[in-house]
Structure 1
């Protein structure tokens, strides 16, 4: 008989979190219903019937940034950053074969026996730059998220090849390398649209910290009761996300309670604005509040790269924008401190921005 884990919350927490079995281990134990610890309060659940249609075409051909339609494409990128905070890009320069290899590598990593993945748990991982875990900050969450992940922070090629998991290190490293020019081009376009001059070294500082995650969302017996990821915005500058074909990514529309699904498009990458860019733009660009739904049909993977400032970098509204706007909507913060605050709490919409609010 499959264990229910409902009678003993500590045994569930130990099994999933401390022993490294993750949500995948729960599913493989044969459970037929979601344990109580994973049931979200009704206001946090995702009702597919209450999801708005995407208001416009938010797929952008990045190759056109280098052609006669540059201004038109730059305007479309900036408009998406000012409104939804999300858009998709095609012809982005990352090889399509690599995208397929990334999805395969994610499945390969999570298909391993629990003890193999648990070797990368916090405290025992061979490097602080690699962490395997589940949910977001399970110690602080009332309801856990239905997700396992492995996170790899880039310092240099040698460390990545030495410490990152063999099942995914080469493709993950190539993903970072082949997306770097795209990220730089997007950030330069977005900053340029603000009418501000920022030198190359400053742009490098604002994307100098790069983390690639592989996320695994196992099939869920009661998807309407759970979330894969709770509502949140990303802390960094720009996030690059590879979805598989299953779908389930939702973005909050404006200040309303309407949510838009970001449909999977073969060969496309999803771009979303992070808190750092909202702060830098003095609120003109919107970090996107988003969340992920679970499914009972097929396990889903996604592979984001979080491009963020170096930890020692000071982040605040660009001086020219403060002068133009007549007000600084955010204070200057050291990014390490912002990051510490971000990871100290469970997901809660865009509350992370409160740390930098004036």
Structure 2
């Protein structure tokens, strides 16, 4: 195995093997130095709350006023909730999770074809960590990111054959869930119709990711994903049964305690992103979360990031400003600028949203 830190980075990043290749090709007994977190960033047992505070809602009837009230209350108080009976068939969910595992089981040379910057990586790309050239400590994760266009099935022509059909079927099944969630959240802000302009700002772009966290030799020392909030409008997450997602228990930064979002079969984890927090003028909350890899098993998760179009202008909705009775908290920003800023640095909790705040 490579010993010096730079050799590890060269193998994982420059040679495009990812942490999956590192884990597969070498019998790791200890965590390589580039992945070791400083003590203050580790998720120690004393920081984990035993109580389960992430609510689960049955959304079998999207028109039920009680369901809508529960969703909006959770988006305001917790920023996270789970939904069951959402309409996506269990076999479709199982198939896309199996497809993610199948992709990472491919030989390294097959996976490398899709590495970010390679010719095949036009509407799909493979990357490691988060932003490896900008991070002080690498994350124990690879991810395959798909760009999904519901109006253009040909966008999937370059996707890996081992998972293409499963991703397309899952995304088609997820569209009604996404639209119903956003309609409920907007109606609570006194926005009764999502017109084309608002649709571009809320769900003009869909990204789906196959996140892979290989079995980790020292999971207590590493970050699967560092603490952060998503920059999406909302994120729709499908977990496997391994577990490892943690949500900050209190939005106050000094309260460094975390709640485990235990996997629930058939459930989708929904979280508010920064875009929706900005558009709601802080009525909805994007909350920090993180992932810890397993020391026993490989873990996969499949998030859908429901994003604005790149050129969409994001600012607090007039209806939301009127509801709060306060001035707008955020200035108008172009989503591509916010996106670029997010990826220009390592994960740093909720600090990204400060980029958009009115000083």
User: What range is the shorter-chain TM-score in?
Assistant: over 0.9
> Tell me, what secondary structure is at the counterpart of 2:295?
coil
Tell me, in whole angstroms, the C-alpha distance in 2 between the residues paired with 1:216 and 1:326.
42
Question: Following the alignment from structure 1 to structure 2, what is the Cα–Cα distance between the partners of residues 54 and 200?
Answer: 40
- Of the three residues 212, 221, 229, the one matched with 2:217 is 221
Deviation, 1:64, is: 2.8
Contact 2:5 2:32 in 1 (8 A): no
Counterpart contact for 1:60–1:89, Cα < 8 Å: yes
**2:54–2:80 Cα contact (<8 Å) kept:** no
- Partner of 2:283, secondary structure, is coil
Specify which of 134, 138, 159 is matched with residue 140 of structure 1. 134
Counterpart residue number, 2:98: 104
Match of 1:166 among 161, 164, 172: 161
Alignment of 1:256-267 (within 5 A): 256-267=255-266
Q: CA deviation at 1:168?
A: 1.0
> 1:236-275 maps to which residues of 2 (within 5 A)?
236-254=232-250, 255=252, 256-275=255-274
CA distance in structure 1 between the aligned counterparts of 2:131 and 2:322, rounded to whole angstroms: 39
Task: Report which stretch shifted further, 258-267 or 153-162.
Answer: 153-162
Query: How far apart are residue 93 of structure 1 and its match?
Result: 1.0
Counterpart Cα distance in 2 of 1:98 and 1:74: 25
Quote the residue 1:150 is aligned against. Answer: 144
SS at match of 2:166: helix
Structure 1 residues 300, 279: CA separation in 2 closer, same or farther (over 3 Å shift)? same
Q: TM-score scaled by structure 1?
A: 0.94
* C-alpha RMSD of matched pairs (Å): 1.5
**Distance in structure 1 (CA, Å) of the matches to 2:306 and 2:215:** 29
Residue of structure 1 equivalent to 2:8: 12
Question: Do the aligned partners of 1:250 and 1:260 also contact (CA within 8 Å) in 2?
Answer: yes
* Other-structure match for 1:286: 285
Match for residue 60 of structure 1?
A: 57
Q: Residue 125 of structure 1 contacts residue 131 of structure 1 at CA under 8 Å; is this kept in 2? A: no
Structure 2: give runs of 5+ residues left out of the alignment.
none
Q: What is the distance in 2 between the residues matched to 1:53 and 1:327?
A: 38
Q: Aligned equivalents of 1:53 and 1:193: distance in 2?
A: 32
Equivalent residue pairs, number: 351
Tell me the equivalent position of 1:195. Answer: 190
SS of residue in 1 equivalent to 2:269: strand
Q: Deviations over 1:28-81 (max 9, x none)?
A: 211210011100011211123421234546101111323xxx221111111111
Q: Name the SS of the counterpart of 2:133 in structure 1.
A: helix
Asked if 1:35 is matched to 2:32, the reply is yes
Q: Which blocks of at least 5 consecutive residues in structure 1 are unaligned?
A: none
Structure 2 counterpart of 1:177, from 150, 168, 172: 172
